[in-house]
Amino acid sequence: MTTKTAVVKSTDEPVDDPLEHMLLFFNLSIRKLAFVGVSLPLITLLTCLATAYFFQYDDVHETHCRVYNVIPSISAITGVTPQTYMWRIAVAFHVGPRMVIAQVYYNYFINQVSKAADKSTCYILINLCYWLNLIEIAAICGVTYISNRENYPVHEKIFILFMLSSLLYMIVMIKTFSKVHKTMTEHQRLSYTIKKILFTVCITSTFTLIIYFIKHRFYCHDLAFTWFALSEYVLAVSNMAFHFTITLDFPHEQLIVAKNFPTLKTD
C-alpha cells in the first residue's frame, strides 16, 4: 500500500512586493498641479489689473467711443507692457498642467464607462469633452499671444471661440460627469453641484457681457464698457474655479515618475 503525502506551503512566506524595488523620481499631487494651473493665471491677472490701473490708467481706459469708463477689460490690461509679458509667461506655464488635467479626466471617464448604462453615448461625451477642453486651451493661448492692439479682428474672433468652447466644455463635462457616475460619493456630489453653479454664473456673465458689448460698441453708452469688463472678470474667475473642481474629483491622487514601477495598461 502506498501512502500519499500532501505538501502544504506556508502562507507566512514573504510575498514579493512589486513596489519594493521601485525608485521614485517625481511625485506631485493632482491638487498641487491644479493649484499651479489656476493660481498662476489668477494671481498674474490681478497683478496686471492693479499695476495697469494705477500706473497706466489712460492707456487701459482708452476706447473707440471715448466715453466714461471705470474698469478696464482683460484685453486692455494684458495688452500693455510690461503686463503683456507677465500674462504671456503665466499662460505659457499654465498650459502644461491644463493639458495633464485634460488627459487625467479623459482616462478617468474611460475607466468609469463600464459602470454606465448607455456606453456609446458616454464615449461620445467623453471624447467631445476632451477635445473641447483642448480647443479652449488653444483659444486662450490665441487671445493671449495675439493681442487686441496687434490684430483686433483676429483677437475678437479667437475670444469668441474661447467663450464658446469654454461654455460647451462646461456643459458637456457636467453631462459626462453625471452619466459615468451611476451613484455619487459625497465629494462627487459636491463637485457636481459646484460645477453646475459655476456654469450658471459663466452663462449669465456671458449674456451680460454680450449685452454691454453691444451697448458700448454700437451705442457708446457711459459705463457700458465697465459692465462688459466686470462680466469678463466674473467669467474668467468662474472658469478658473470650474477647472479647480478637479481637486474634489481627485483629492488624493498623485502624478508619479518612477523606475521599476508596475506596468499599467494604457490606451
Each residue of 203-224: pLDDT tens digit? 999 999 999 999 988 888 888 8
Q: What is the pLDDT averaged over residues 82-103?
A: 94
Q: Are 57 and 77 in contact (CB under 8 A)?
A: no
With a cut of 90, say whether residue 263 has pLDDT above it: no
More confident residue, 16 or 234: 234
Counting Cβ atoms within 10 Å, is residue 135 exposed (0-12), middle (13-18) or buried (19+)?
middle
Each residue of 93-109: pLDDT tens digit? 999 999 999 999 999 99
d(CA 9, CA 56): 80
With a cut of 80, say whether residue 159 has pLDDT above it: yes
Q: Are 152 and 122 in contact (CB under 8 A)?
A: no
Q: Which residues pair with 27 in a beta bridge?
A: 256
More confident residue, 7 or 234: 234
What is the pTM assigned to this prediction?
0.85
The DSSP secondary structure of 232-265, one letter per residue, reads HHHHHHHHHHHHHTHHHHSSS-EEEEEESPPP--
d(CA 243, CA 53): 28
DSSP 8-state assignment for residue 183: S
Each residue of 162-216: pLDDT tens digit? 999 999 999 999 999 999 988 888 889 999 999 999 999 999 999 999 999 999 8
Within 8 A by CB and 6+ apart from 168, the residues are 132
DSSP 8-state assignment for residue 211: H
With a cut of 80, say whether residue 16 has pLDDT above it: no
Measured between alpha carbons, how far apart are the two ends of the chain, in Å? 59
